[in-house]
């Protein structure tokens, strides 16, 4: 991990895991909150840190909020670097398959 990489807290790893499970999809922050069970005050700062580090990119949903009856969502997607770094981090910590990263 380089000096510019984000801190990989337990919550950040949960967010990255959702992105890897949906690597071809763009995910809205609100959907990330639902999928992880975390509050928006936790999820959005993580998304911002990951985007600043170059692990994510984002853009606004292309729809008319009036027709949709709701505000547009910001959609996030793993970059190539983000995908590789997320897989590496989760593999090294053995989080991906649920096995502990340590042995007793």
The answer to whether residue 98 sits within a structural domain is no
The answer to whether residue 33 sits within a structural domain is yes
Range of the domain at 49: 10-92
Tell me how many domains the chain contains.
Answer: 1
The answer to whether residue 50 sits within a structural domain is yes
CATH code where residue 38 lies: 1.10.10.10
The answer to whether residue 97 sits within a structural domain is no
pLDDT digits (tens, 9 = 90+) for 61-103: 999 999 999 999 999 999 999 999 999 998 887 644 555 554 4
Which contacts qualify for 51-56: CB closer than 8 Å, 24 or more apart?
51/76, 52/6, 53/4, 53/5, 53/6, 53/82, 54/4, 54/79, 54/81, 54/82, 55/5, 55/6, 55/16, 55/79, 55/81, 55/82, 55/85, 55/86, 56/19, 56/82
pLDDT digits (tens, 9 = 90+) for 17-37: 999 998 889 999 999 999 999
The answer to whether residue 100 sits within a structural domain is no
The answer to whether residue 2 sits within a structural domain is no
* pTM across the whole model: 0.83
């Amino acid at each position: 991990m380089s000096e510019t990489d984000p801190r990989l807290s337990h919550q950040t790893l949960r967010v990255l895991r959702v992105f890897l499970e949906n690597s071809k999809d763009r995910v809205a922050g609100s959907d990330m909150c639902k999928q992880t069970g975390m509050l928006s005050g936790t999820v959005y700062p993580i998304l911002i840190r990951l985007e600043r580090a170059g692990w994510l990119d984002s853009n606004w949903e292309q729809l008319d909020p009036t027709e949709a009856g709701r505000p547009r969502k910001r959609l996030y997607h793993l970059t190539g670097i983000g995908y590789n770094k997320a897989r590496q981090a989760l593999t090294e910590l053995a989080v991906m398959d649920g096995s502990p990263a340590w042995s007793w």
